[in-house]
Amino acid sequence: MAFRLTERIRALPPYLFIELDKLKNEAVARGVDVINLGIGDPDHPTPRLIIDALAAAAAVTENHRYPLGAGQIEFRREVARYYERVHGVGLDPATEIIALIGSKEGIGHFPLAFVDPGDVVLVPDPGYPVYRAATLFAGGELYAMPLLKGNGYLPDLDAIPDAVFARVKLMFLNYPNNPTAAMATRDFFEQAIFKARKHGFIILHDAAYLDITYGGVKALSFLEIPGAREVGIELHSLSKTFNMTGWRIGFAAGNSELVQGLLTVKTNLDSGVFNAIQYAGVAAMRHYDQLLPGIVKVYESRQRTLMTGLRELGWPSFEAPHATFYVWAPTRGGRSSMETTRNLIDMCGIVATPGIGLGAAGEGFVRFALTTDEKRIELACRRMKQAGV
């Protein structure tokens, strides 16, 4: 008996990181010692004090039951303290913050609350593939916003016709940006808020890399900008900040109607984050100032190593980023991003992410993730040199 997938599933492109994993596994099967600079999954362990907090909370019988609702109030209060301390933003933990099973879950669920079939959703190109998938699942129509080097990898909002804006229900933004590592300016956020007010659409800001910045540079939370909470919501995660990708815990904060709309979807589709993990999240955020500098220092050192290696190889000139743990590098010799990626795997045993896999405007670039030991990054650079890359 043959089963037919729905149109919404068949409309999806292959999930990029599954395809990369397939290429990696094929190389491993050939006996290649693969250096994985592809997926943005921190390689260092979660800090011990977070693990200890989980263990203590997991021993509490009350935490073994369904974690229904918006999340433990202790967790939401700690998120509010984080916003006040780090970004100068005051939030009501009772109405303006909810716990998420990682920010990816929130991105996936949010359009189901606010996007009707036929509504237009603005998505960054290149960008995190889940923006597109979530839009298609909700029946929305995609409109790509190219992120180009000449515009600082910020969308040119003035290039979007008013006729398109008239149909827009939701705009996805993401800064510091994956994959380009660009940072948003205050002027850009102010312009986006102006457009949202004028045309009556929602802004969802994906802030997964908000805390990963270097050299004294601080990234702006969208919620810091006056007017942001009138039109938008910010989703964040403990995954990158505290090496907690597998724990699946994040949060949504901002406009109370948008937060509660997302919560309505969640209460119908999931049962929340395990309470013990929420208490571990409290410990993580409470020790933010203690834990974050060491984590960021590792990525900053790795970035210097990779940038030095690429420059010695004569890689096309580009600036080292000040945020995220990615390096967005132009391809060489007019090669496509997919050809470059395949060459890196076949000739060097290195996995990188082809820009085209993140959107049409990503063609001509590859993304290197700094989630591998520094010695392995040095080895990757030596392999590229030996292979004539």
Residue 25, pLDDT score: 85
Residue 199 sits in the same domain as residue 165: yes
Assess if residue 338 is contained within a domain: yes
Residue closest to 42 by CA, chosen among 273, 325, 251: 325
pLDDT at 65: 95
Residue 14 has pLDDT above 80, yes or no: no
Q: In this structure, is residue 100 part of a structural domain? A: yes
Residue 192: band (very low, low, confident or very high) from pLDDT cuts 50, 70, 90 = very high
> CA-to-CA distance for 243 and 52, rounded, in angstroms?
15
Q: Does 205 lie in the same domain as 325?
A: no
Alpha-carbon dihedral angle through residues 165, 169, 173, 179, given to the nearest 10 degrees: -90
Q: Which structural domain, as residue segments, surrounds residue 320?
A: 7-45+290-386
Same domain for 208 and 94? yes
Q: To 10 degrees, what angle do helices 275-286 and 48-58 make?
A: 150
Both 346 and 211 in one domain: the answer is no
Pairing of strands 202-206, 232-237: parallel
Mark whether 103 and 13 lie in a shared domain. no
Q: Convert the pLDDT of each residue in 150-174 to its tens digit.
A: 999 999 999 999 999 999 999 999 9
pLDDT single digits (tens) 40-66:
899 999 999 999 999 999 999 999 999
Residue 1 lies in a domain: no
Q: Spell out the residues 6+ positions from residue 184 whose beta carbon is closer than 8 angstroms to its own.
A: 154, 173, 175, 176, 177, 219, 220, 222
The answer to the question of residue 11 being in a domain is yes
Give the helix, strand, coil percentages of the chain, each rounded to 5: 50, 15, 40
Residues 95 and 215 in one domain: yes
Q: Are residues 39 and 70 in the same domain?
A: no
Residue 2 lies in a domain: no
Domain with 339 in it: what CATH number?
A: 3.90.1150.10
Q: How many domains does the chain have?
A: 2
Residue 19 lies in a domain: yes
Helix (H, G, I), strand (E, B) or coil at 382: helix
Give a yes or no: residue 174 inside a domain: yes
The verdict on residue 179 lying in a domain is yes
Supply the pLDDT for residue 317. Answer: 79
For every residue of 126-144, DSSP letters joined together read: S--HHHHHHHHHTTPEEEE
Based on the fold, state whether residues 192 and 321 are members of the same structural domain.
no
Domain boundary (240, 272, 288) is at 288
Q: What is the pLDDT of residues 369-381, one digit of tens each?
A: 999 999 999 999 9
pLDDT on residue 77: 98
Q: What percentage of the chain has pLDDT greater than the value 90?
A: 86
Residues 21 and 155 in one domain: no
Question: Which residue's entry shows tokens 């670039």?
Answer: 365
The answer to which of 5-9, 32-36, 364-368 has the lowest mean pLDDT is 5-9
Q: Is the peptide bond before 161 cis (omega within 30 degrees of 0)?
A: no
Tell me which of 239, 256, 288 is where a domain ends.
288
For residue 199, pLDDT over 80 is answered with yes
Query: Domain boundary at 267, 288, 309, which?
Result: 288
pLDDT confidence bin for 2, thresholds 50/70/90: confident
Per-residue DSSP letters for 170-236?
EEEEESS-TTT-----HHHHHHHHHHHHHHT-EEEEE-TTTT-B-TT--PPPGGGSTTHHHHEEEEE
**Alpha-carbon span 157 to 172, nearest angstrom:** 13
pLDDT in tens, 337-353: 999 998 999 999 999 99
Residue 364 binned pLDDT confidence (cut-offs 50, 70, 90): very high
40 in the same domain as 52:
no
CATH of the domain at 73: 3.40.640.10
Task: Let me know whether 149 and 192 are in one domain.
Answer: yes
Q: Is 366 in contact with 340 (CB distance < 8 Å)?
A: yes
13 pLDDT higher than 80: no
324 with 366, same domain: the answer is yes
Residue 270 burial by Cβ neighbours in a 10 Å radius (0-12, 13-18, 19+): middle
Summarised one tens digit per residue, pLDDT across range 301-338 is 999 999 999 999 988 878 889 999 999 999 988 899 99
pLDDT value at 28 more than 90: no
Segment 248-263 shows an average pLDDT of 98
